């Protein structure tokens, strides 16, 4: 099994990797399908199903679909250009993607939220259609946004398409047990094995530049969040808090009577800064999703700013180790809140961050696996119940607590020798089963939990 670090960590746009980035990616794929088709097209239609329908407005799924059909993609998203495009589309009822003629597309009539018909393949389903001059559908494709910005067609999902396309890799571990056995037999760390796999699929120079950019975007997101005030969009009138908390922490620096637990506030504020940016539709990196994008950057920033002896030269090892763990979770369970609740998002992020921190602090592969296990185990059963379908409450604070759990898990693992009772593989399988058994109203539909017990105004 091979899942690249650049699959786990994608530069994109908030507020949701599955509900915003995924639909935009699906739309881009559909445009490519149209460009390769011999037909003459005159218009476009789209329908959103399942969780994409129920929480689509709060997650900007409609906006992402419209922009995707207009030719926008997440990794080069420009906010000002997008706003101008949306205004033009609303006025003209047309889109003009590159390489195609002007197409009729009136979002009010041609973008449907279908609350009644859930598609069979996944909770996040959408149908994209192209029509001829008479309005008849002549091209149709079903897409599933399966979490973390990953998108599969109906056919790809049915075929069980995985991430093994390409040259063989030297360490093709599919489970944590295989990963540890390969580490023991090779004498390599998890990061070294993951790096060897990445280089086998690409160029070493471009890989180093790519990982450097990932941290650059993550850290820039933290900095924007720490310096921006105001009210988050969406109608809940949630106030940004990261700047005020950070200002207070900076003012307290150097005081002799700081409580030891203040360090938790530093971890939380870094994570909250990212998720406030995500909620505002800013540029973020999936880690492994947008809804959980704050956990891993917060733990890495905590390491760099607060751990004695920390070095930026370890950033790549942190990301590689975290991606290895994230790949195991995605391959054997899920990273989608709509499929398995928030245990699959913040829980997976905490496991990844704990593993990364443990690794750069000198942990053995066994200790790294233990750190990931502790972090994920203590998120089991966590529901995804965003108030008003917005990635704000409880999502922003939840990332802060996820970061704290990740650091605690790494610390506990480093205090031991790597031997522990519950294997990571067992926790991942338990998470998969728990997600399967979880009621749909707790899986990113905003039909249960906090979403119905907290006033939305």
Residue range 406-431, pLDDT digits in tens: 999 999 999 999 999 999 999 999 99
Segment 314-326, tens digit of pLDDT: 999 999 999 999 9
Q: Alpha carbon 172 to chain centroid distance?
A: 23
pLDDT of residue 453: 96
pLDDT at 164: 58
Chain centroid to Cα 167, Å, comes to: 26
CA-based angle 366:367:371, to the nearest 5? 120
What is the SS3 assignment for 149-172? CEEEEHHHHHCCCCCCCCCCCCCC
pLDDT computed for residue 184 by the predictor? 98
First CA to last CA distance, the chain: 46
**CA 202, CA 447: separation in Å to the nearest integer?**
44
| CATH for the stretch 17-158 | 3.30.1330.90
The confidence score (pLDDT) of residue 455 equals: 81
Compute the distance between CA of residue 29 and CA of residue 13 in angstroms, rounded to an integer. Answer: 17
d(CA 299, CA 139): 46
Tokens standing for 192? 């070294």
Q: Where are the alpha helices (DSSP H) in 345-416?
A: 346-360, 365-377, 395-415
pLDDT, one tens digit per residue, over 236-252 is 999 999 999 999 999 99
Mean pLDDT of 346-374: 98
Using CA of residue 422, residue 344, residue 217, residue 308, what is the dihedral sign? negative
Number of H helices, E strands in the chain: 20, 9
Q: For the residues of 275-310, what is the DSSP string, one character each?
A: HHHHHTT-EEE-SS-STTTTHHHHHHHHHHHHSTT-
Residue 271 CB partners (closer than 8 Å, separation 6+): 294, 295, 297, 298, 399, 400, 402, 403
Residue-level pLDDT at 202: 85
Beta bridge partners of 12: 284
Q: How distant is the alpha carbon of residue 215 from its chain centre?
A: 15
157 neighbors 287 (Cβ within 8 angstroms):
no
Q: What is the pLDDT of residues 196-239, one digit of tens each?
A: 999 999 878 889 999 999 999 999 999 999 999 999 999 999 99
- Bridging pattern class, strands 111-114 and 43-50: parallel
| Pairing of β 137-147 and β 150-153 | antiparallel
d(CA 105, CA 94): 5
CB 128 within 8 A of CB 143: yes
Distance CA 230, CA 318 (A): 33
Domain ranges across the chain = 17-158, 176-453
pLDDT tops 70 at residue 88: yes
Which tokens belong to 46? 């789209």
pLDDT at 162: 55
| 386 touches 392 (CB < 8 A) | yes
What letter does residue 238 receive in the DSSP assignment?
P
pLDDT at 254: 79
d(CA 322, CA 315): 11
Q: Which residue spans within 28-175 are E strands per DSSP? A: 43-50, 94-95, 103-104, 111-114, 124-131, 137-147, 150-153
Residue matched to tokens 């023991």? 184
Kindly state the average pLDDT of the residues 400-407. Answer: 98
**CB neighbours (10 Å) of residue 170?**
12
Q: At what angle do helices 315-332 and 295-306 cross, to 10 degrees?
A: 160
pLDDT at 457: 59
- pLDDT (tens digit per residue) in 50-60: 999 999 999 99
Q: Which of 291, 275, 285, 267 is nearest to 344 (CA)?
A: 291
Q: Spell out a b/e string for 14-33, using b for 16 or more CB atoms within 10 Å of the CB, else e.
A: bbbbbbbbbbbbbbbbbbee
Q: Label residue 161 by pLDDT band (50, 70, 90).
A: low
**How far is residue 311's CA from residue 303's CA, in Å, rounded to a whole number?**
9
**Considering only CA atoms, which of 408, 395, 292 is closest in space to residue 357?**
408
């Amino acid at each position: 099994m091979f899942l690249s670090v650049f699959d786990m960590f994608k530069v994109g746009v908030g507020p949701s990797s599955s509900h915003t980035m995924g639909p935009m990616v699906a739309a881009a794929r559909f445009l490519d399908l149209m460009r390769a088709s011999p037909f003459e097209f005159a218009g476009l239609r789209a329908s959103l199903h399942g969780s994409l329908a129920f929480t689509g407005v709060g997650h900007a799924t409609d906006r992402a679909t419209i922009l995707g059909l207009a030719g926008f993609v997440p990794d080069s998203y420009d906010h000002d250009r997008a706003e101008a495009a949306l205004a033009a589309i609303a006025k003209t009822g047309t889109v003009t993607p590159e390489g195609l003629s002007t197409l009729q597309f009136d979002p009010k009539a041609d973008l449907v939220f279908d609350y009644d018909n859930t598609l069979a393949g996944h909770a996040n389903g959408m149908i994209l259609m192209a029509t001829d001059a008479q309005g008849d559908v002549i091209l149709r494709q079903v897409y599933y946004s399966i979490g973390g910005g990953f998108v599969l067609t109906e056919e790809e999902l049915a075929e069980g398409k995985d991430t093994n396309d390409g040259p063989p890799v030297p360490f093709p571990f599919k489970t944590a047990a295989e990963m540890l056995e390969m580490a023991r037999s090779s004498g390599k760390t998890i990061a070294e094995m993951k790096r060897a796999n990445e280089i086998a699929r690409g160029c070493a120079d471009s890989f180093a530049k790519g990982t450097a950019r990932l941290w650059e975007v993550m850290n820039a997101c933290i900095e924007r969040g720490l310096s921006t005030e105001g009210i988050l969009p969406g109608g809940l009138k949630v106030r940004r808090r990261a700047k005020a908390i950070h200002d207070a922490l900076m003012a307290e620096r150097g005081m002799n009577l700081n409580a030891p637990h203040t360090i938790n506030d530093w971890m939380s504020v870094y994570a909250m800064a990212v998720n406030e940016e995500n909620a505002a539709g800013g540029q973020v990196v999936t880690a492994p999703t947008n809804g959980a994008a704050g956990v891993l950057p917060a733990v890495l920033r905590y390491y760099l700013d607060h751990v004695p002896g920390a070095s930026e030269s370890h950033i790549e090892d942190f990301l590689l180790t975290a991606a290895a763990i994230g790949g195991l979770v995605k391959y054997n369970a899920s990273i989608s809140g709509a499929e398995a609740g928030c245990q699959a998002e913040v829980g997976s992020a905490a496991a990844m961050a704990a593993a990364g921190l443990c690794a750069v602090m000198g942990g053995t592969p066994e200790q790294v696996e233990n750190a990931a296990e502790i972090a994920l185990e203590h998120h089991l059963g966590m529901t995804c119940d965003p108030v008003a379908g917005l990635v704000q409450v409880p999502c922003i604070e939840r990332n802060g607590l996820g970061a704290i759990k990740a650091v605690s898990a790494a610390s506990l693992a480093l205090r031991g020798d790597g031997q522990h009772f519950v294997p990571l593989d067992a926790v991942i399988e338990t998470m998969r089963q728990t997600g399967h058994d979880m009621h749909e109203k707790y899986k990113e539909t905003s039909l249960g939990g906090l979403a119905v017990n907290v006033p939305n105004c």
